[in-house]
Amino acid sequence: MPLSCPICGKTAVEKYTPFCCKRCADVDLGRWFSGSYAVPAVENDDDPDEQDAVDTPEKH
């Protein structure tokens, strides 16, 4: 099972493991350097109320 990028949640690529791209790796690095590796601003995609809008692009 592939890793998920801790920054954006996309599938990580081997080159930038555990990130998906250089940008996310830089973001993570910047957090460490700034000394504020606290709570990342991750969207809550476990909200059941938004499941219809997000997961099923069906016709109206």
Output the smallest distance, CB 24 to Zn ion, in A: 3
Which of residues 11 and 52 has its CB atom nearest to Zn ion in the complex? Answer: 11
Rounded Cα distance, 6 and 37, in Å: 12
Task: Count residues near Zn ion (CB under 5 A).
Answer: 6
Q: Say which residue the tokens 């460490």 belong to.
A: 32
How far, in Å, are 46, 55, 58 from residue 49 at the CA level?
Answer: 9, 11, 16
13 binds Zn ion (CB under 5 A): no
Output the smallest distance, CB 17 to Zn ion, in A: 11
20 binds Zn ion (CB under 5 A): yes
